[in-house]
Structure 1
Amino acid sequence: MRKYYYYTVLFFSFMVSYSQNFQGVAYYESKTAANFDFDRGRDIPEDMKKQMEERMKRMLEKTFILTFNSSEANYLEEEKLETPGQEGGRRMFGFMGDSKYYKNILENRYVNQREVFGKVFLIKDTLPKLTWKLESETKKIGNYTCYKASAVKSVDKLDFRSMRPPRRPDNSKDADTTKTSLLDEVTMPKEITIVAWYTPEIPVNMGPDEYNGLPGLILEVNADRTTILCSKIILNPSHKEDIKEPTKGKEVSQQEFNEILTAKMKEMEENFRNGGGRRDGGGRPGRF
């Protein structure tokens, strides 16, 4: 009896130690299909439109690295050297500043450090909760067998990945003069369907970006026009990275940050109309 008790304690001690030391690194390719009508009611030269399209493409195709253990994760954009002029894609919209995203599954919260026009914000809020429907369909992603799950999600009005150009009659380029703000010119769905593919072979409640809540690591997410696909996984790397919670910036909730950003974008549009700046963010944005 004593020997059984000893081995039981030893087993659970090993499992706790393994859980604490376990770490994985997953690389995700994120692509968003967007069709912005740059020439809506404006006489924009073809070379400028092509330049804007290239900037949009760079902005909508990125690589992210998810560093995770059984309870925490960092989700960061992979750093790449930019050639002269590429930074314009990042500056096309004010809300496209650098991001340092941390989430804690056990405590059901996230911290997102965002830089907007030189000012750093520390967004702290609870993790979005999705009601997943587990399905029986499977497919292979790399060497892993993945299962399908789906959920319906409300759309953040500032999520550029779901922005759509306004509808208008065919062959008409007449601009609606009542739509004076960039936010007024785009349309957004209220809800979108999320399809995720997760693998129980890596039994952690983790996934890219804000996604989690499934009995296995999420390797693919299809959210409206955005696809996030895992391209490489390293389990228990020889060199473990520290999973850090960002601490710099003005602390705000997600709603407070959205309100600040909306006001800032409208201010930029006003400056643009008054000749005080460019719509791509090149002009002075003013002060927060």
Structure 2
Amino acid sequence: MNQFYKFVAILCLVFTTASFSYAQQDFQGKAYYQTKTTMDLDNWGGRQMSEQQKKQIMERMKSMLEKTYVLTFSQTESTYKEEEKLEAPGSGRGFGMMGSFTGGAQYKNIKDKQMLQEQEFFGKQFLIVDALKDLDWELSGETRQIGQYMCFKATAVKTVDEFDWTSMRRRSDRNKENETKEQSKDSLKVETDSTATNSTGKDFMSEIEVPKEITVTAWYTPQIPVNNGPGEYWGLPGLILEINADRTTMLCSKIVLNPSEKDEIKKPSKGKEVTRDEYNTIMKQKMEEMREMYGGRGGRGGGRGR
């Protein structure tokens, strides 16, 4: 009976899809996504905080952890931008470098398998040029309703970027111990390398870790047969309406097909053009500069001159 139901559901979707006029060249749609990332403050030393203190911190970080994005898409291209809104004083933008990990406007070209992303970092504008990475999606017959759309489940294992702040967590004591043992095997290099982690071990990147891989769950609808989705996600036979990736959920809350006023989908062009690896290297170098400036003896740069 379950197999029969799945067959009927797919058949209905095929007929629904066939009746939709996606053939026109100027087809466009907009999908609005509510994104939310959870954070375990206890993992970041919050065990000593009161519940009131935790609540205040989470409220300040809300604008960084909860966002609304708009995916403007055609059959082959899309832009993914954060919806502009006024921020309350003292919101998450003030949390040091964390804001620098959040990318700007993102452009995807499904046909050419290209992804471009604007990124501002310490006052400098960059344009990150990358190939659109394929995910080996495993399709499932499991279904659920999201709004008026019948959605199907798909899962994939994704390699995580080393500066993906949504998956960052405090390094466990066991991992710190293993890393220390590895570093001690090459003590000569540690002593002579001026960029090695200082003895305090309190620079930002030494305190965190990012998993190499995570499992991603997607819910897509063949009723909107475009090969696209929020963020870097794509590659399924229908628009992706929900993504669950580690501690982050992206859920579509509204869809507008063929709006009366269409937005031009164009490639971003501002900023220094770099690859993702080159941009990550730039970030590492800047962090080293900051560590040397503020992480020296006495926390004042070791008496460094002006």
Alignment TM-score > 0.5, same fold:
yes
Whether 1:193 and 2:198 are equivalent positions in the alignment is: no
Matched residue of 1:67: which SS? strand
Instruction: Answer yes or no: is the 8 Å Cα contact 2:61–2:91 preserved in 1.
Output: no
Paired with 2:250 and 2:105, the residues of 1 have a C-alpha distance of: 18
Paired with 1:50 and 1:255, the residues of 2 have a C-alpha distance of: 36
Whether 1:266 and 2:288 are equivalent positions in the alignment is: yes
Give 1:187 deviation, angstroms. Answer: 1.8
Paired with 2:142 and 2:46, the residues of 1 have a C-alpha distance of: 42
107, 111, 131: which one aligns with 1:106: 111
Whether 1:146 and 2:165 are equivalent positions in the alignment is: no
Q: Could you say which residue in structure 2 is the equivalent of 1:173?
A: none
Paired with 1:100 and 1:24, the residues of 2 have a C-alpha distance of: 17
Instruction: Answer yes or no: is the 8 Å Cα contact 1:58–1:89 preserved in 2.
Output: no
Give 1:188 deviation, angstroms. Answer: 1.7
159, 162, 174: which one aligns with 1:157: 162
Give 1:129 deviation, angstroms. Answer: 1.0
* Residue deviations 1:147-180 (CA, integer Å, cap 9, x gap): 00010011111101111112249xxxxxx96533
Paired with 1:192 and 1:121, the residues of 2 have a C-alpha distance of: 27
Instruction: Answer yes or no: is the 8 Å Cα contact 1:19–1:70 preserved in 2.
Output: no
Paired with 1:21 and 1:276, the residues of 2 have a C-alpha distance of: 58
Q: Could you say which residue in structure 2 is the equivalent of 1:247?
A: 269
Q: Could you say which residue in structure 2 is the equivalent of 1:72?
A: 77
Q: Could you say which residue in structure 2 is the equivalent of 1:227?
A: 249
Instruction: Answer yes or no: is the 8 Å Cα contact 1:111–1:124 preserved in 2.
Output: yes
Give 1:38 deviation, angstroms. Answer: 4.3
User: Pairwise mapping of residues 76-95 of structure 1 onto structure 2 (< 5 A)?
Assistant: 76-86=81-91, 88-89=93-94, 91-93=96-98, 95=100
Q: Could you say which residue in structure 1 is the equivalent of 2:26?
A: 21
5+ residue gaps, structure 1, are 1-14, 170-175, 278-288
Matched residue of 1:211: which SS? coil
Matched residue of 1:210: which SS? coil
Matched residue of 1:95: which SS? helix
Letter aligned with residue 114 of structure 2: R
Matched residue of 1:258: which SS? helix
Matched residue of 2:263: which SS? coil
Give the structure with the higher percent helix.
2
Letter aligned with residue 133 of structure 1: E
Q: Figure out how many residues of one structure are paired with residues of the other and give that number.
A: 255
* Residue deviations 1:214-256 (CA, integer Å, cap 9, x gap): 0000000011111000000000000001112110100000110
User: Pairwise mapping of residues 171-186 of structure 1 onto structure 2 (< 5 A)?
Assistant: 179-186=201-208
Whether 1:205 and 2:227 are equivalent positions in the alignment is: yes
Whether 1:30 and 2:52 are equivalent positions in the alignment is: no
TM-score (structure 2 length as normaliser): 0.76
5+ residue gaps, structure 2, are 1-20, 175-197, 302-306
Letter aligned with residue 233 of structure 1: I
Paired with 1:54 and 1:72, the residues of 2 have a C-alpha distance of: 36
Instruction: Answer yes or no: is the 8 Å Cα contact 2:64–2:92 preserved in 1.
Output: no
Q: CA RMSD in A?
A: 2.7
Matched residue of 2:69: which SS? strand
Q: Could you say which residue in structure 2 is the equivalent of 1:125?
A: 130
Seq. identity, %: 52
